[in-house]
Amino acid sequence: SQELEQSPQSLIVQEGKNLTINCTSSKTLYGLYWYKQKYGEGLIFLMMLQKGGEEKSHEKITAKLDEKKQQSSLHITASQPSHAGIYLCGADDDQGAQKLVFGQGTRLTINP
Amino acid sequence: SAVISQKPSRDICQRGTSLTIQCQVDSQVTMMFWYRQQPGQSLTLIATANQGSEATYESGFVIDKFPISRPNLTFSTLTVSNMSPEDSSIYLCSVPGPTYEQYFGPGTRLTVT
């Protein structure tokens, strides 16, 4: 089955700084999902990437899927305290079945 | 996006008892999914619940332990049976959106003592 590895596992940045989180897959990605989770809560859908080279943005968050469709990055520009949380990447483990496998998550802390 | 609610939001249960978690969606969906997130871990898919058919369970999960009902296109329940402390987790339901996105409920935080 597909495995996703996220890096870094945790990240502490100063407010206003930019940051990048990576998600690497053991197999070709047919759908890559990015979510944000506040501690102990549900997942907030950020965006989904399907095509190699695709890039999407939402407010100050940009996600890219590389041409080979085995790696994605999530970039936050000018980080704010509201960006703090756990970021999870997920992938469709059975092409089109929408059964997701997830990375282990990246815990983001924003220092004022 | 779909609006998903779960009940209860949290519960503390005794070992050996069962808890039924409800998932309600504001629109009709063919598939609903149930996930588990153990403390400090990522999410793991338990099963897929399709209306009108038996749920499909992932490796490591069985119907006797996690029976699922799907009586209509907007509702599903997951029961955690004969609970042990190892079942302490957040349980989340999810539904697909119209363009392959997937939305999650707020989760049910279960603590088994």
**Tens digits of residue pLDDT in A52-69:** 889 999 889 999 999 888
How far is A52 from A102, CA to CA, in rounded Å? 19
Q: According to the model, what pLDDT value does residue A83 have?
A: 96
Range with lowest mean pLDDT among B13-17, B28-32, B83-87: B28-32
- Closest CB to A48 among B31, B33, B100: B100
Is B9's pLDDT higher than 90?
A: yes
Is A40's pLDDT higher than 80?
A: no
Q: Is B96 on the interface with A (CB under 8 A)?
A: yes
Q: According to the model, what pLDDT value does residue B2 have?
A: 85
How far is A71 from A6, CA to CA, in rounded Å? 10
Q: Is A85 on the interface with B (CB under 8 A)?
A: no
Average pLDDT over residues B22-33: 94
Q: According to the model, what pLDDT value does residue A62 have?
A: 97
| A79, A13 Cβ separation under 8 angstroms | yes
Place of tokens 């970021």: A87
Average pLDDT over residues A68-83: 94
Average pLDDT over residues A24-45: 89
Average pLDDT over residues B3-32: 96
Those residues with Cβ within 8 angstroms of residue B53's Cβ, 6 or more apart along the chain or in another chain: B70
- Closest CB to A104 among B42, B101, B107: B42
Alpha carbon of B17: minimum distance to chain A alpha carbons (Å)? 23
Candidates A36, A5, A28; CA nearest to A92 is A28
| A98, B30 Cβ separation under 8 angstroms | no
- Cβ within 8 Å, pair B42-A98: no
Q: Is A112 on the interface with B (CB under 8 A)?
A: no
Those residues with Cβ within 8 angstroms of residue B3's Cβ, 6 or more apart along the chain or in another chain: B25, B26
Average pLDDT over residues B44-62: 92
3-state secondary structure of B76: strand
Which residue in A has a C-alpha nearest to residue B33's C-alpha? A99
For residue A14, give Cα distances in angstroms to A56, A74, A76, A78, A79: 24, 17, 12, 9, 8
- Residue B105's Cβ-side half-sphere holds a number of Cα atoms within 13 Å equal to 32
